[in-house]
Structure 1
């Protein structure tokens, strides 16, 4: 008796589109956090104070 072989698509290497989106988002968040941390060393404001000012005290977003 002959065995049936699977002749479908072979899995390709690399990232799936979902994994690529997650990698980009994680990279963007990491860059943002590192930027806030370095800025806190320059300005003397903590990371929480910077986020508070950026999100709640900014009057003109245009």
Structure 2
């Protein structure tokens, strides 16, 4: 039998869709940052220089 004092839905466990989307964006940004940091030790370019080269200088948008 159901309890008479229970009304409505049970509280959901886990992340809401909005929280899951934010967590995914944070994880992707963290992986990108760590990759750029590791690449900077190999190439000698800072993270800022890598972003500048990738977004403004390369111009390979097609």
Q: Please give the TM-score of this superposition, normalised by the length of structure 2.
A: 0.86
Shift of the alpha carbon at 1:61? Answer: 1.6
Aligned to 2:60: 60
Aligned Cα root-mean-square deviation (Å): 1.3
| Aligned counterpart, 2:17 | 17
What TM-score, normalized by structure 1, do the two folds share?
0.86
- Residue 58 of structure 1: how far off its partner (Å): 1.3
- Equivalents in 1 of 2:26, 2:60: separation in Å? 28
CA distance in 2, matches of 1:49, 1:41: 13
Which aligned runs of 4 or more in structure 1 are off by greater than 4 angstroms? none
- Tell me the CA shift for residue 6 of structure 1: 4.5
Q: Which runs of 5+ in 2 are unaligned?
A: none
Q: Shift in Å at residue 38 of structure 1? A: 0.4
CA distance in 1, matches of 2:12, 2:60: 48
Aligned residues: 59
Whether 2:51 is the aligned partner of 1:51: answer yes
Q: What's the offset of the Cα at 1:12?
A: 1.3
